[in-house]
Chains A and B, each alone.
Chain A
């Protein structure tokens, strides 16, 4: 009698644990497939990241003075450091599409990547 009860209990616990693990797995999978703002930006910055030496410091300029945008780009490109000092040899210019395009003084664009909202322009100092 006790053994049967134990068996039922073990099955109940195992089922509950299995449901939990399946739920966690399913949610993890769903989240890894879904694209949030950071993921969209990560995809767009992938070609940019490939052009920058890991661990270096590059300049950063954006049309929008948004902390969120800067933090997002800094998180994605880490361990590259984004400096708001425009005097760097390489500058990442994030251009908002509905605003007029600017020119980074003394720099030339050499890579452009795009999202729906932004153009991500990597520029290098002209010799």
Chain B
């Protein structure tokens, strides 16, 4: 009963956030509003649940607050109207079918290959943390030195959402993280599709994007791991999408982009690297526009406060930071490490990531402008940042590359595909034919 109540509140909060978003940004399609609203609602619930644990309020306290907030926005905001998106789908049957087929391929992958408890990281890190967070009385045990192996400094968005649902359900069933992973996997092609399809001349490219996700088995495999990598890639994707949608200084899209980029720090530590690069790129481009900088700061403030509070008051030092230092210079000077990393990347890009390489090559031929754009620079710099981490890792280089390269590529791939198609679509706009 509590679970149903918690779930209904979460769903209503999604709608409320979408409605508020619609008031802040006028020219946003309803589907994109709904998706962004859902993501913001998830972030809010994870913050509230984390706050609940910190302060020591019982779960029903949070549920009462959520119910009151939801009742208010339904009564005064008439927010349920946002659900009337039916016309969109009927007006564009071909595109909708392509999107559904792409989602169907993810479901097929889930049916045939999804494991119950996810991969090693899922149950020794993310779901383990969620299990602690599901118990408000003993959640601080998560930071015990005995659990050093579980990376106690990892941010808490995924564990707090799963913990919130487990706590309301009253048991820690494996179905919750499993279905949440599927939902996150769904949201990437859906967000890509609607971010591109918001402009009329990019709808064909939107279909192409979702088809790429449908055939990309790396994406589906990593999404099935139940880790936080795909969730982070969703935040990076939406940051990039809203950055590209900010066409004038008067819009509020940049505030949403900042919120998404800063919320990445609440998902994974890699989110910090993305946020720093993203913010620097934004500031270099817009340092003269005080209005935009103000909107950016407002959007990023709250997520940063939550992430910093966790880092300052609870999280121990990161294992890479704690172990590194002494041999840093030795590693940087060692040419063998550079060769090993480059070799590994080349093998990956010409093997299991051949589809990504082919798409990159095609974009290089069709639209070179993309490769000097700020969006590509942001993604390239984050990738370089990851490579520097590999270069200076205190762990075995081969082991570190083998266990994490695919996952960190997952952070960037959806945004890369989206932004690339966005630029190609700008250069070669395709007018859609009427389906009816």
Contacts and interface: CB of A to CB of B under 8 A. Distances in A.
Contacts of A54: 135, 137-138
Given A79-B139, A82-B146, A16 B100 contact: yes
B409 interface: no
Q: What size tier do the contact residues of chain B reach?
A: 35 or more
A101 interface: no
Contacts of B175: 28, 31-32
A34 to B, nearest CB: 7
Contact of B104 (A16, A36, A72): A16
8 contacts: A12-B97, A13-B100, A24-B110, A27-B114, A31-B174, A55-B137, A71-B128, A72-B123
Interface string B58-99: 000000000000000000000000000000011001001100
Given A31-B114, A74-B128, A20 B147 contact: no
B178 A28 contact: yes
A20 B107 contact: yes
Contacts of A34: 116
B132 A78 contact: yes
Contacts of B131: 75, 78-79
Which of B89, B115, B141, B182 gathers most chain A CB within 10 Å?
B141
B141 A36 contact: no
Contacts of A9: 90, 93, 96
B146 A83 contact: yes
Given A38-B123, A82-B146, A24 B182 contact: yes
A81 interface: yes
B117 interface: yes
Given A17-B100, A75-B123, A79-B139, A2 B128 contact: no
B107 A78 contact: no
A103 interface: no
Interface string A48-71: 000000110100000000011001
Given A78-B128, A78-B141, 8 more contacts: A20-B104, A26-B111, A28-B175, A31-B174, A32-B175, A38-B116, A75-B127, A75-B131
B197 to A, nearest CB: 16
Interface string A15-35: 011011001101110011010
A123 B139 CA distance: 26
Contacts of B93: 5, 9
Interface in B113-142: 114-117, 120, 123-124, 127-128, 131-132, 135, 137-139, 141-142
A17 B101 CA distance: 10
Interface of B: 89-90, 93, 96-97, 100-101, 103-104, 107-108, 110-111, 114-117, 120, 123-124, 127-128, 131-132, 135, 137-139, 141-142, 144, 146-147, 149-150, 173-175, 178-179, 182, 436
A31 B116 contact: yes
Nearest to B114: A27
B107 to A, nearest CB: 5
Given A12-B97, A23-B108, A55 B135 contact: yes
Q: Which 6 A-B pairs have the closest CB atoms?
A: A55-B138, A79-B138, A71-B124, A78-B131, A31-B116, A9-B93
B115 to A, nearest CB: 8
Interface of A: 2, 5-6, 9-10, 12-13, 16-17, 19-20, 23-24, 26-28, 31-32, 34, 36, 38-39, 54-55, 57, 67-68, 71-72, 74-75, 78-84
Contacts of A68: 120
A17 B104 CA distance: 8
Which of A5, A9, A23 gathers most chain B CB within 10 Å?
A9
Contacts of B124: 71, 74-75
Contacts of B104: 16, 19-20
Contacts of A16: 97, 100-101, 104
B436 to A, nearest CB: 6
A24 B138 contact: no
Contacts of B128: 71, 74-75, 78
A5 B436 contact: yes
A56 to B, nearest CB: 9
Contact of B132 (A12, A19, A79, A84): A79
A37 to B, nearest CB: 9
Given A26-B111, A79-B131, A32 B174 contact: yes
A2 B107 CA distance: 31
A32 B173 contact: yes
B147 A81 contact: yes
A19 B93 CA distance: 18
A39 B137 CA distance: 25
Contacts of A57: 144, 146
Contact of A2 (B103, B116, B436): B436
A34 B108 CA distance: 19
Contacts of B141: 55, 78-81
Contacts of A83: 146
Contacts of B111: 23-24, 26-27
A126 B303 CA distance: 51
